[in-house]
């Protein structure tokens, strides 16, 4: 395993759509191992192949100490909306901002051997998956910076993890980038 350089905002590769993985071989295994080591070295909660200069649809997430590899991930069955701060290894931390993401989702993908994987995720784990899949489509979290509606009331602004809208769905998972209510305290949203 090796630690790879993490591309930074401004690198054109971060804005390109990644190609599907079609060959599940030793090269893919090496890429995934290197991504995992790089993510851990950088204290990230996830990392996508484009961030290390490889335009393939592969991401790794680390949630509550469990690392998950997702090849060719597809998100479906999104439910609820949560507004929370995000950060990214590829973007200067001064640009951390709130982003609206689904509270729950289903993600279908493949593992490193090409076997089907289905993940039901909610809260912070769902946020990490969305963030990483965005990278595969050339999208950075700053492209989705949440803007308060002009007539927002304190009830729907959600500034603390304890704030909840009337229907009981949590509206904010963390109070600052990399801090969340689901156990990934101190980790950057993105690897």
132 is catalytic: yes
Q: Closest by alpha carbon to 45, among 87, 80, 98? A: 87
Strand partners, 85: 98
Give the span between the Cα atoms of 111 and 33, in whole angstroms: 13
Q: Which of 132, 148, 164, 176 is catalytic?
A: 132
Query: From the CB of residue 110, how many other CB atoms can be counted at a distance below 10 Å?
Result: 19
C-alpha distances out from residue 161 to 84, 143, 181, Å: 9, 23, 7
What positions carry a catalytic annotation?
Answer: 132
């Amino acid at each position: 395993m090796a630690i790879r350089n993490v591309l930074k905002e401004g690198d054109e590769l971060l804005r390109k759509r990644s190609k599907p993985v079609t060959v599940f071989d030793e090269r893919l295994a090496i890429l995934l191992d290197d991504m995992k080591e790089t993510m851990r070295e950088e204290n990230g909660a996830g990392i996508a192949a484009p961030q290390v200069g490889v335009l393939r649809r592969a991401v790794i997430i680390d949630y509550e100490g469990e690392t998950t590899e997702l090849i060719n991930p597809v998100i479906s069955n999104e439910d609820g909306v949560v507004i929370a701060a995000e950060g990214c290894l590829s973007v200067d931390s001064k640009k951390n901002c709130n982003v609206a993401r689904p509270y729950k989702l289903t993600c279908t993908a493949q593992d490193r051997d090409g076997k089907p994987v289905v993940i039901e995720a909610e809260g912070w784990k769902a946020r990490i998956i969305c963030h990483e899949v965005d990278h595969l489509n050339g999208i950075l979290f700053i492209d989705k910076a949440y803007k308060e509606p002009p007539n927002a009331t304190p009830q729907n602004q959600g500034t603390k993890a304890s704030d909840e809208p009337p229907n009981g769905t949590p509206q904010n998972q963390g109070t600052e980038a990399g801090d969340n209510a689901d156990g990934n305290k101190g980790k950057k949203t993105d690897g």
